A and B are shown apart, each in its own frame.
Chain A
Amino acid sequence: MRALARRFPSLPLGLHRYRLDQLVGGAIVVVALLLVPVLDSNVSQISAFADAGYVLLLAFGLNIVVGYTGLLVLGYAAFFAIGAYTYGMLASPQFNLHYNFWLMLVVSALVAAAFGVLLGAPTLRLRGDYLAIVTLGFGEIVPQLLRNLDKFTNGPNGIVAIDQPSIGSYSFGFNPVPYYYLYFVVICVCLVLLNNLRHSRLGRAWMAIREDELAAEHMGIDTTGVKLLAFSIGSAFAGVAGVIYASKVTTISPDDFQFQVSVMILLAIVLGGIGNLVGVLVGGTIIALLNFLVLPQASNWAHAIGDKFGIGALQGLDLTNYHFMLFGLILVLVMLFRPEGLVPSATVRAELRAEQETA
């Protein structure tokens, strides 16, 4: 290995080992993020930052399926719902079951992964638009089932009083700070795992399928198994996100997992830069903060201005109702001016440039 590195000094033979500047940059970001709850005592802001966590986890999972493997999945919120409901039903007064949160984190990930395989297996031969439509349907079916399986899910009212996590005798309660740190740790772990996968046998197999499925099969890749792994691992991320989400809000209903959630996550990875982990981080953070922080805050300002000048229209304005208009606008602008996303993977950038050149 060392001898080879000397012979080819410019080669990233240790791609899976981190460079010094990456480590230092990462350490600075980590410390800054760790200090946020210490410096900012505004509870609703910390809560918004924490909620960005589930958006990021969902974006990570969807990026495996859409970004790496090239399978367009539109009903991804279904797996988020499955994770949340698995925890909700097994850790609430609903059935008087109170399984441990940390155990359920793993169990829900496995349940969501199993459903990922369940959706993946019959749809494996579909590509592009067809797969998108089938998964869109799946994303609609799951909330409908949750709404109508009253006996298990309590129907449209949803599940209430879901258990909050605790460590020893310390309970998380309604304080957003521990959730912020929980998301932080989970996201860091997921980032390392994803980066490892990206630079390994499985990650390369995913990308080979994206590039040329037939050639991938001839290289000995079991495309069926590898695609199912993408589906299940991607879904597991949504399962984990669902558990933490449910434990933080303590009340979940089918309406929390509508198509809009799938679109928001897809927008996050498209905005940031599909297929690139840093891009997914940036896109997810922007979308989440817009949704949870900027729009509610802007509404408050509009109310204040309305009160001051006696403008009735502004007093009652709730900008959060317009978030999909804003998301749509962002999507249009991104596609017009930066189709490769804010922090694109080098791959996508070149791909789009090449298309433009030939167009």
Chain B
Amino acid sequence: MALLSLRELTKSFGGLSAVKNLTFDVAEGAIISLIGPNGAGKSTVFNLITGIYRPTSGSIGFAGRDITNLKPNAVADFGIMRTFQNIRLFAYMTVLENVLVGRHVRMHATPWGDALHSPYQRREEDACRERAMELLEWFGIARYATDWARNLPYGMQRRLEIARALASEPKLLLLDEPAAGTNPAEKAGLMKLVQSIRGRGVTVLLIEHDMKLVMGISDYVHVLDYGEEIAHGKPEQVRHDQRVIEAYLGKGA
């Protein structure tokens, strides 16, 4: 059964349709890529799924429930976490604190418990710090734990953003151009990382411009152009699709 299903999803801004009649499913445990030229509506799809935008029409189902009009924090609570195209870390909080904020929805201490550091709060806090450190170790950034997020090298900030998104143990991870601005070595590391994330049972929906990365790790690819799906299939099929080549390179190429 599909973990995430978009049904005839449409989003218009005034007269402009950023996303038109988009329908596709994301199977549990898969790595699915969303590609397309700039302005094709990929990020809009993410914003619709995570509840920043309300769709003009259509619906979004997740794990058997309708999440179409939920607010971002509720969507996160259901188990969908995301990263951002332009990094949006909590710059003046430590790396560890960033990950702990990411775990917010899995922590249940009350404000009273927080203020009094109740036994429950302490147990939970300790357990979460431990989980957070394990996560940072996995991502190879544990040694930065007490540094501010903003002081990390760029590539590490990208990794931290993914770690923060994984801290709450989501079912679905949305990655918005995780490889943007990284060097080839970092890209290779990122590919491995995304695969190991899937290996731990997290479904991944990926927006990416780097074709080598997309073709290398995706199980299935959806191609958008001007808000509409123009092709979908396995990476090999999509790569040779005439409409995809035209969308990227123009007609007659």
Q: Which residues of A are at the interface with B, using a C-beta cutoff of 8 A?
A: 1, 4, 7-8, 10-13, 16, 193, 196-197, 200-205, 207-208, 211-212, 214-223, 229, 233, 347, 350-351, 354
Is the Cβ of A11 less than 8 Å from the Cβ of B96? yes
Is the Cβ of A220 less than 8 Å from the Cβ of B88? no
Is the Cβ of A221 less than 8 Å from the Cβ of B101? yes
Q: How many A-B residue pairs have CB under 8 A?
A: 118
B82-107 contacts to A, CB under 8 A, are 82, 84, 88-93, 96-97, 100-102, 104-105, 107
Distance in Å: Cβ of B158 to nearest Cβ of chain A: 14
B246 — which chain A residues lie within 8 A by C-beta?
Answer: none
B121-153 contacts to A, CB under 8 A, are 121-122, 125-126, 129-130, 133, 142, 145-146, 148, 150
Q: In chain A, what residue has the closest Cβ to B129?
A: A13
Distance in Å: Cβ of A241 to nearest Cβ of chain B: 18
Is the Cβ of B101 less than 8 Å from the Cβ of A216? yes
Is the Cβ of B90 less than 8 Å from the Cβ of A205? no
Is the Cβ of B73 less than 8 Å from the Cβ of A217? yes
**Could you mark each residue 141-180 of chain B with 1 if its beta carbon is under 8 Å from any beta carbon of chain A, else 0?**
0100110101000000000000010001000000000000
Is the Cβ of A350 less than 8 Å from the Cβ of B93? no
- Nearest 3 A/B pairs, CB to CB: A220-B76, A220-B105, A200-B114
With beta carbons under 8 angstroms apart, the residue of B71, B72, B116, B164 that contacts A193 is B116
Tell me the complex Cα distance, A193–B115, Å: 5
Is the Cβ of B92 less than 8 Å from the Cβ of A351? yes
Is the Cβ of B146 less than 8 Å from the Cβ of A204? no
B50 at the interface (CB under 8 A from A): yes
Q: Which residues of B are at the interface with A, using a C-beta cutoff of 8 A?
A: 50, 52, 71-73, 76-77, 81-82, 84, 88-93, 96-97, 100-102, 104-105, 107, 109, 111, 114-117, 121-122, 125-126, 129-130, 133, 142, 145-146, 148, 150, 164, 168
A211 — which chain B residues lie within 8 A by C-beta?
Answer: 90-93
With beta carbons under 8 angstroms apart, the residue of B111, B125, B142, B145 that contacts A233 is B111
Label chain B's interface by main secondary structure. Answer: helix
Q: In chain A, what residue has the closest Cβ to B122?
A: A16
B92 — which chain A residues lie within 8 A by C-beta?
Answer: 207, 211, 347, 350-351
Is the Cβ of B115 less than 8 Å from the Cβ of A197? yes
30 contacts between A and B (CB under 8 A): A4-B129, A7-B133, A8-B142, A8-B145, A11-B133, A13-B129, A13-B130, A16-B117, A196-B117, A197-B111, A200-B114, A200-B115, A201-B107, A201-B121, A201-B125, A202-B111, A202-B115, A204-B101, A211-B91, A212-B90, A214-B52, A215-B89, A216-B101, A218-B50, A218-B72, A218-B73, A218-B81, A219-B102, A220-B76, A220-B77
B97 — which chain A residues lie within 8 A by C-beta?
Answer: 204, 207
Q: In chain B, what residue has the closest Cβ to A232?
A: B111
Is the Cβ of B114 less than 8 Å from the Cβ of A202? yes
B125 — which chain A residues lie within 8 A by C-beta?
Answer: 16, 200-201
B93 — which chain A residues lie within 8 A by C-beta?
Answer: 204, 207-208, 211, 347
A215 — which chain B residues lie within 8 A by C-beta?
Answer: 84, 88-90
B91 — which chain A residues lie within 8 A by C-beta?
Answer: 211-212
Tell me the complex Cα distance, A72–B21, Å: 43
Distance in Å: Cβ of B78 to nearest Cβ of chain A: 9
A217-B72 in contact given A11-B146, A196-B114, A229-B111 (Cβ < 8 Å): yes
Tell me the complex Cα distance, A212–B104, Å: 15
Told that A201-B107, A216-B101 touch, could you supply 15 new A-B pairs with CB distance under 8 A? A1-B130, A4-B129, A11-B145, A16-B122, A197-B115, A201-B100, A201-B109, A207-B90, A207-B97, A218-B72, A219-B73, A219-B81, A223-B73, A347-B92, A354-B150
Distance in Å: Cβ of A193 to nearest Cβ of chain B: 5
Tell me the complex Cα distance, A220–B77, Å: 6
Distance in Å: Cβ of A204 to nearest Cβ of chain B: 5
Tell me the complex Cα distance, A223–B74, Å: 11
Is the Cβ of A221 less than 8 Å from the Cβ of B90? no
Is the Cβ of A212 less than 8 Å from the Cβ of B88? yes
Tell me the complex Cα distance, A223–B76, Å: 13
Is the Cβ of B121 less than 8 Å from the Cβ of A200? yes
A350-B84 in contact given A200-B114, A219-B104 (Cβ < 8 Å): no
